[in-house]
Structure 1
Amino acid sequence: MDAQTSLPLAGRRVIELGTMLAAPFAAHILSQLGAEVIKVEPPRGDPTRALVRGGPSGTFIAYSHGKKSVCLDLASADGHAAFTKMLATADALVHNLAPKAARKLQLTKEDCEKINPKLVYCHIRGYAAGPQEDDLASNPVAEAATGVMEQNRINGRPSRLGPSYHDQFAGAYAVIGMLATMLQQAQGKPASNHVEIGLYETGLHVASRDLVGIQLKTQLLGKPEREPHGEFSMPGYGAYLTRDERWMYLLMLTDAHWLKFCQAMELPEARDESLHQLRNRKKERDRCEDIVKRAIGAVTFEQASAQLKAAGVGFTEVLPLERVLEAPQAHQPGKLREVGYRGYGFEVPEFPRLGADSDGVQTLPPPELGAHTREILQSAGLKPEQCDALVKSGAALVADGTTFPWAPVR
């Protein structure tokens, strides 16, 4: 048995009807686990194909390598009929269509179940069942509705975090649900083949620690008391500037961490028992923050690194994006995948797993729009002349290498 056929999802066919991030991210993980992922796109393509100077963005390159692309107009009768042929050959479908769009395109769970009763049907939507189930939502909407954005302010204005973490969490939760369903199927257990993930509900779950924490404070103190800022809930746990103006992020969660830090930096506070307990350090937050700030600011980054590492204190440098992949840790086997695209080369971080460097997942470049339309439709039972007719009518599209203006590197 070769490495590729031993992958957890080897032999599974997953159809992705995804735009932007949540569903494509879920399908990316399934691909990294060995599934054949077919990305079905409309004639205009996934919007992430045209976000950077008319061409693909980092989102598309990072999360669509390894996939195949079929381009169909699902609003046309012929395009929809071709899609149902494909659906009958699939093990799973993951999509993030708006509920109204899913109904309009006849791609609800009930519609798809008639075509393929064994299909694992996964819908990532704005809101799961409830009074808002038809409302639209995006990553920032989930942040706003679940308390994250209110705490993250720029110049006083509630602002999104930046990275679309809620989309990616939702995609990961979708994979967990799909794998659980597949496991139950394999064990012959009765189970619903329906997996439904809401961005809003994802946001609630991610925020559950803070939502429960505010309830706890309210019941203990009679009011919803908050820490001044999440960054400084524990003095010494944050970013501090070294003498040579490099930012160092310190991990100081426990009393032992505080003591190790003070000893490593040879501070007199190591002997100050009044600061040995977190409760007391919180009471003297400003003093403790000043102690740490002065200690780190008095030495270079390399000096601080040597002293803290020797003492077993957790820390890292706060890195800009352009330097992140310079770290030796990032270049250990199985951490990055070399992906080529139109003559450009990219180091793409892997879905983290043991054996990623030897499990046989193929390195396929991000597909051109419609690159596999004929191949996949014919594997689903359509004859070559039927594929020709679909392309001629505009119900399907095949790649011609001119879908965006980047010139290939010569």
Structure 2
Amino acid sequence: MRNSPLHGLRVVEIGTMLAAPFATHILSQLGAEVIKVEPPAGDPTRSLVRGGPSGTFIAYSHGKKSACIDLSTPGGRAALHKLLAQSHALVHNLAPKAARKLGVGREECAALNPELVYCHIRGYAAGPQQDDLASNPVAEAATGVMEGNRINGRPSRLGPSYHDQFAGAYAVIGMLAALLQAKTGAADRHVEVGLYETGLHVAARDLVGVQLKTQLLGRAEREPHGEFAMPGYGAYLTADERWLYLLMLTDGHWLKFCQALDLPQAADPGLARLKDRKKAREQVEELVGRAIGALPFDAAVARLKAAGVGCTEVLPLERVLEAPQAQSPGKLREVAFRGLQFQVPEFPRHPDADDAPATLPPAALGQHTREVLEQAGLSAAECAALLDSGAVRAVDPAGFAWAPVRATS
């Protein structure tokens, strides 16, 4: 759409799994033309679920074009160089050694196109570990997140790859800053984001907090578990066995909660202040759990919301998009793919915004190879020669078929 903020910007992605594809997904949702350059085997997320694409691919690669280019061949690298010379930005999350081997290092790309915004999302940014490999769980382990998240006593990853997605969002911020600086004549077009450095920044509050308590108390002290320090701020089971999550941040929240459920503790001066409730944590937790457990879910929510208490049901994934808030205009995008229909959450916009780009279904591997190369200046004969040599590949209509679902007995 022409009124999209990044309309006219061409971005090349050489990305696998999540960090770089998530960054270019955001750029695509802002109107950029994103060309996903993939090897002959495709992005690994194309073949993670029953021989076909996973939710990651469908959610974060719709709206992109796919060019299948074998960068291990001289012809493939030459084709990519032609494309980069006609593009505005490159985003990749190749390992540093792989980037150098494939000819997409910072210096090579700057020589091809001095105006190119070069964004590298890597395990570690500059420093003693800059050539080490890292993944989302490695970043969690190295920045304190995993140590505090234990399952049966064993440090464990969170589950969702939030550090990858944070890194992708940070990359977008850096690229937009570089584009703004370019308008002032600034020469630097390099954006580098490390998963480790992303993890440090996300954990800054906790890292500073432990320093603060060490200096004030003379010892390191952390919260005893992953929940918030405020008693009453958590998930509680209702009488009909549905989990209700309460927002209990302030003394005002506590007072409203007690009044909503007709609890005499509303007038108890010994629990009126947060610091006193922390000292009486077990008492408060038992009180809140008993009060919520005495009511069916709907009745509890009605009383709490009428009193202005923040709360929500703890929903399983299969029910999340049923919520009226999720189904309100502008929240979801209908995406069709291989005969299946998906509701994909949108990039958050102002409710009156009309700049969302049109939907393109997730591209088949190599679906746009010839189109992309011709737009980059290669002749039809040159494209044909590259296709014949195997340096680039066009779409295979029978590329995959999801394995049929087996009936369960």
What's the TM-score once normalised by structure 2's chain length? 0.97
| Percent sequence identity over aligned pairs | 72
The answer for unaligned runs of 5 or more in structure 1 is: none
Matches within 5 A, 1:7-406: 7-186=4-183, 188-355=184-351, 358-406=354-402
1:360 to partner: Cα distance: 4.2
Gaps of 5+ in 2: 405-409
Q: Is the contact made by 1:335 and 1:356 (CA closer than 8 Å) also made in structure 2?
A: no
- Cα distance in structure 2, aligned partners of 1:177 and 1:303: 47
After superposition, the Cα gap between the structure-2 partners of 1:86 and 1:355, relative to the gap in structure 1 and judged at 3 Å, is farther
For the residue of structure 1 that corresponds to 2:21, the secondary structure is helix
Cα distance between partner residues in 2 of 1:155 and 1:334? 41
Distance 1:283 1:178 in 2: 47
- SS class of match (2:56): helix
Secondary structure (helix, strand or coil) at the match of 1:128 reads: coil
Asked if 2 retains the 8 angstrom alpha-carbon contact of 1:181 and 1:193, the reply is yes
Instruction: Read off the aligned partner of 1:134 and give its amino acid letter.
Output: D
- Mapped partners of 1:346, 1:358: distance in 2: 21
* Greater Cα shift, 383-392 or 246-255: 383-392
Tell me the amino acid that sits aligned with residue 155 of structure 1.
N
Q: Residues 220 and 247 (structure 1 numbering): CA distance in 2 closer, same or farther, change over 3 Å?
A: same
Higher mean displacement: 382-391 or 141-150? 382-391
1:347 offset after TM fit, Å? 0.1
Return closer, same or farther for 1:78/1:380 CA change in 2, 3 Å cut-off: same
Secondary structure of 1:34's counterpart equals: coil
Between 1:251-260 and 1:227-236, the stretch displaced more is 227-236
Q: How many residues align?
A: 405
Once the two structures are TM-superposed, the CA of residue 334 in structure 1 deviates from its matched residue by 0.8
Q: Which amino acid aligns with 1:352?
A: P
Contact persistence 2:51–2:403 (CA under 8 A): no
Contact 2:5-2:355 at 8 Å conserved across structures: no
Give the alignment's TM-score, normalised by structure 1. Answer: 0.97
Which runs of 4 or more aligned residues in structure 1 lie more than 3 Å from their structure 2 counterparts after TM superposition?
Answer: none
Q: Partner letter of residue 16 of structure 2?
A: T
Give the aligned residue type for 1:237.
Y
The amino acid that maps onto 2:254 is: W
Greater mean deviation of Cα atoms: 124-133 or 359-368:
359-368
SS in 2 for 1:316: strand
SS in 2 for 1:150: coil
Q: How many Å separate the matches in 2 of 1:323 and 1:357?
A: 27
* Residues 87-120 of structure 1, C-alpha deviations (whole Å, 9 max, x = no match): 0110000000000001111111110000000000
**Conservation of the 8 A alpha-carbon contact between 2:20 and 2:91:** yes
Once the two structures are TM-superposed, the CA of residue 230 in structure 1 deviates from its matched residue by 2.8
- The residue matched to 2:137 in structure 1 has which SS? helix
State the shift of 1:75 in Å.
1.1
Q: Is the Cα contact below 8 Å between 2:50 and 2:403 reproduced in 1?
A: no
Contact 2:9-2:32 at 8 Å conserved across structures: yes
The one-letter code sitting in structure 1 at the alignment partner of 2:300 is A
Amino acid at match of 1:236: G
Change (3 A) 1:293 1:126: same
SS in 2 for 1:309: helix
Partners in 1 of 2:144 and 2:336 — Cα distance?
40
Secondary structure in 2 matching 1:231:
coil
Over aligned residue pairs, what C-alpha RMSD do you find? 1.3
Distance 1:222 1:360, change over 3 A: closer
Separation in 1, partners of 2:351, 2:28: 15
TM-fit CA distance, 1:406: 2.3
Q: Helix, strand or coil: the match of 2:118?
A: strand
